Amino acid sequence: MIHRTSQVLCVWFLFWDLILTAAAWLGAYYLRFESGWIPIYKEPPVFETCWRQLPLVALLSAIAYRLTGQYTIHRLRRFREEMVGVLKGTALLSLLVLATIYYLQNPYESRATMLLFSLLTATGILLARRLSWYALSSSRPANAIFSARVGSALASTTPASTPRPDSAPITAASFRATFP
Protein backbone atom coordinates (compact mmCIF):
# COMPACT_ATOMS: atom_id res chain seq x y z
CA MET A 1 0.00 0.00 0.00
CA ILE A 2 1.28 3.46 -0.85
CA HIS A 3 0.71 6.15 1.75
CA ARG A 4 -1.10 9.25 0.63
CA THR A 5 1.77 11.59 1.50
CA SER A 6 4.31 9.71 -0.63
CA GLN A 7 2.13 9.08 -3.70
CA VAL A 8 3.56 12.02 -5.64
CA LEU A 9 7.09 10.86 -4.95
CA CYS A 10 6.24 7.29 -5.97
CA VAL A 11 4.72 8.49 -9.23
CA TRP A 12 7.79 10.68 -9.80
CA PHE A 13 10.11 7.69 -9.30
CA LEU A 14 7.93 5.41 -11.45
CA PHE A 15 7.88 7.96 -14.27
CA TRP A 16 11.66 8.37 -14.32
CA ASP A 17 12.27 4.66 -13.85
CA LEU A 18 10.19 3.86 -16.93
CA ILE A 19 11.76 6.66 -18.99
CA LEU A 20 15.30 5.64 -18.04
CA THR A 21 14.59 1.95 -18.61
CA ALA A 22 13.30 2.72 -22.11
CA ALA A 23 16.34 4.92 -22.78
CA ALA A 24 18.64 2.13 -21.54
CA TRP A 25 16.88 -0.40 -23.80
CA LEU A 26 17.37 1.77 -26.88
CA GLY A 27 20.84 2.87 -25.77
CA ALA A 28 21.99 -0.72 -25.34
CA TYR A 29 20.93 -1.49 -28.92
CA TYR A 30 22.78 1.57 -30.20
CA LEU A 31 25.96 0.83 -28.23
CA ARG A 32 26.01 -2.81 -29.28
CA PHE A 33 25.06 -2.67 -32.94
CA GLU A 34 25.43 0.89 -34.21
CA SER A 35 28.46 2.35 -32.41
CA GLY A 36 31.00 -0.24 -33.54
CA TRP A 37 32.64 -0.51 -30.09
CA ILE A 38 31.84 -4.21 -29.82
CA PRO A 39 32.58 -6.39 -32.87
CA ILE A 40 29.58 -8.01 -34.54
CA TYR A 41 29.94 -11.58 -35.83
CA LYS A 42 26.35 -12.26 -36.92
CA GLU A 43 23.78 -10.25 -38.77
CA PRO A 44 22.44 -7.66 -36.30
CA PRO A 45 18.69 -7.49 -35.73
CA VAL A 46 16.85 -4.56 -37.22
CA PHE A 47 16.03 -1.59 -34.99
CA GLU A 48 12.29 -2.12 -35.42
CA THR A 49 12.58 -5.36 -33.43
CA CYS A 50 14.04 -3.44 -30.51
CA TRP A 51 11.43 -0.69 -30.90
CA ARG A 52 8.53 -3.18 -30.96
CA GLN A 53 9.66 -4.75 -27.69
CA LEU A 54 9.79 -1.43 -25.85
CA PRO A 55 6.21 -1.59 -24.44
CA LEU A 56 6.85 -5.11 -23.18
CA VAL A 57 10.07 -3.99 -21.50
CA ALA A 58 8.25 -1.04 -19.89
CA LEU A 59 5.52 -3.33 -18.55
CA LEU A 60 8.04 -5.84 -17.21
CA SER A 61 10.05 -3.06 -15.60
CA ALA A 62 7.03 -1.67 -13.76
CA ILE A 63 6.25 -5.16 -12.45
CA ALA A 64 9.86 -5.94 -11.49
CA TYR A 65 10.42 -2.63 -9.73
CA ARG A 66 7.20 -2.93 -7.77
CA LEU A 67 7.91 -6.54 -6.74
CA THR A 68 11.38 -5.68 -5.44
CA GLY A 69 10.13 -2.85 -3.24
CA GLN A 70 11.71 -0.01 -5.14
CA TYR A 71 8.80 2.30 -4.32
CA THR A 72 9.04 1.99 -0.55
CA ILE A 73 9.40 5.59 0.51
CA HIS A 74 10.44 6.72 3.96
CA ARG A 75 12.65 9.49 5.24
CA LEU A 76 15.39 7.26 6.61
CA ARG A 77 16.12 5.34 3.40
CA ARG A 78 19.86 5.32 2.97
CA PHE A 79 21.98 5.07 -0.15
CA ARG A 80 22.80 1.42 0.57
CA GLU A 81 19.13 0.43 0.76
CA GLU A 82 18.38 2.44 -2.36
CA MET A 83 21.20 0.73 -4.24
CA VAL A 84 20.14 -2.74 -3.13
CA GLY A 85 16.55 -2.02 -4.24
CA VAL A 86 17.69 -0.75 -7.64
CA LEU A 87 20.02 -3.71 -8.17
CA LYS A 88 17.30 -6.19 -7.21
CA GLY A 89 14.83 -4.52 -9.55
CA THR A 90 17.31 -4.42 -12.41
CA ALA A 91 18.30 -8.05 -11.91
CA LEU A 92 14.67 -9.20 -11.86
CA LEU A 93 13.90 -7.07 -14.91
CA SER A 94 16.85 -8.57 -16.79
CA LEU A 95 15.69 -12.09 -15.97
CA LEU A 96 12.12 -11.34 -17.01
CA VAL A 97 13.22 -9.73 -20.28
CA LEU A 98 15.56 -12.60 -21.11
CA ALA A 99 12.90 -15.20 -20.34
CA THR A 100 10.33 -13.36 -22.43
CA ILE A 101 12.67 -12.91 -25.38
CA TYR A 102 13.65 -16.57 -25.39
CA TYR A 103 10.05 -17.68 -24.95
CA LEU A 104 8.91 -15.57 -27.92
CA GLN A 105 11.89 -16.87 -29.97
CA ASN A 106 12.84 -13.35 -30.87
CA PRO A 107 16.00 -12.73 -32.92
CA TYR A 108 16.99 -9.96 -30.51
CA GLU A 109 18.96 -12.10 -28.05
CA SER A 110 22.44 -10.65 -27.82
CA ARG A 111 24.08 -11.31 -24.44
CA ALA A 112 26.26 -8.21 -24.70
CA THR A 113 23.18 -6.10 -25.36
CA MET A 114 21.44 -7.53 -22.30
CA LEU A 115 24.50 -6.83 -20.16
CA LEU A 116 24.65 -3.26 -21.46
CA PHE A 117 20.92 -2.88 -20.83
CA SER A 118 21.29 -4.02 -17.22
CA LEU A 119 24.25 -1.73 -16.54
CA LEU A 120 22.66 1.30 -18.18
CA THR A 121 19.37 0.72 -16.37
CA ALA A 122 20.90 0.35 -12.92
CA THR A 123 23.20 3.33 -13.37
CA GLY A 124 20.50 5.59 -14.76
CA ILE A 125 17.90 4.76 -12.14
CA LEU A 126 20.34 5.07 -9.26
CA LEU A 127 21.61 8.40 -10.53
CA ALA A 128 18.08 9.74 -11.05
CA ARG A 129 17.02 8.64 -7.57
CA ARG A 130 20.02 10.25 -5.91
CA LEU A 131 19.47 13.49 -7.83
CA SER A 132 15.77 13.45 -6.90
CA TRP A 133 16.55 12.94 -3.21
CA TYR A 134 19.16 15.70 -3.36
CA ALA A 135 16.73 18.11 -4.99
CA LEU A 136 14.07 17.22 -2.46
CA SER A 137 16.36 17.75 0.51
CA SER A 138 17.74 21.04 -0.83
CA SER A 139 14.25 22.42 -1.50
CA ARG A 140 13.18 22.12 2.15
CA PRO A 141 12.83 25.35 4.11
CA ALA A 142 15.95 26.35 5.99
CA ASN A 143 14.23 26.47 9.37
CA ALA A 144 13.05 22.85 9.01
CA ILE A 145 16.63 21.70 8.50
CA PHE A 146 17.81 23.93 11.36
CA SER A 147 15.17 22.58 13.74
CA ALA A 148 16.06 19.01 12.80
CA ARG A 149 19.76 19.66 13.45
CA VAL A 150 19.10 21.45 16.75
CA GLY A 151 16.70 18.70 17.83
CA SER A 152 19.22 15.98 17.11
CA ALA A 153 21.98 17.93 18.86
CA LEU A 154 19.80 18.40 21.93
CA ALA A 155 18.80 14.76 21.97
CA SER A 156 22.41 13.60 21.88
CA THR A 157 23.36 15.57 25.02
CA THR A 158 21.63 14.23 28.07
CA PRO A 159 21.88 15.75 31.57
CA ALA A 160 23.55 12.60 32.91
CA SER A 161 26.39 12.80 30.41
CA THR A 162 27.34 16.42 31.17
CA PRO A 163 29.31 16.82 34.42
CA ARG A 164 28.29 19.48 36.91
CA PRO A 165 31.08 21.90 37.78
CA ASP A 166 30.34 21.89 41.53
CA SER A 167 30.67 18.12 42.01
CA ALA A 168 33.90 16.18 42.11
CA PRO A 169 34.08 12.69 40.64
CA ILE A 170 33.56 9.87 43.09
CA THR A 171 36.52 7.53 43.41
CA ALA A 172 37.24 4.50 45.55
CA ALA A 173 39.78 6.43 47.63
CA SER A 174 37.29 9.13 48.56
CA PHE A 175 34.75 6.49 49.52
CA ARG A 176 37.18 4.79 51.90
CA ALA A 177 38.23 8.05 53.45
CA THR A 178 34.66 8.94 54.25
CA PHE A 179 33.68 5.54 55.64
CA PRO A 180 36.52 3.80 57.55
Helices (H) and strands (E) in the chain, counts: 7, 0
Identify whether the C-beta of residue 20 lies closer than 8 Å to the C-beta of residue 121.
Answer: yes
Domain assignment of residue 40, yes or no: yes
Domain assignment of residue 141, yes or no: no
Identify whether the C-beta of residue 109 lies closer than 8 Å to the C-beta of residue 86.
Answer: no
Give the pLDDT of residue 105: 81
Q: Which residue has the higher pLDDT, 158 or 131?
A: 131
Domain assignment of residue 150, yes or no: no
Domain range for 24 is 4-133
Q: Which residue has the higher pLDDT, 53 or 35?
A: 53
- Please state, in angstroms and rounded to a whole number, the distance separating the CA atoms of residues 55 and 121: 16
pLDDT reading at 41 higher than 50 = yes
CA count, 13 A, side-chain hemisphere, 163: 6
How many domains does the chain divide into?
1
The pLDDT tens digits for 140-170 are 665 554 445 545 555 555 555 555 555 555 5
Domain assignment of residue 171, yes or no: no
The rounded mean pLDDT for the chain is 78
Domain assignment of residue 168, yes or no: no
Domain assignment of residue 148, yes or no: no
The pLDDT tens digits for 87-127 are 999 999 999 998 998 888 877 667 888 899 999 999 999 99
Give the pLDDT of residue 19: 95
Domain assignment of residue 59, yes or no: yes
Give the count of beta carbons closer than 10 Å to the beta carbon of residue 42. Answer: 7
The pLDDT tens digits for 58-95 are 999 999 999 988 887 766 677 888 888 899 999 999 99
Percent above pLDDT 70 for the chain: 71
Which of 40-44, 51-55, 165-169 is the least confident region? 165-169
Domain assignment of residue 79, yes or no: yes
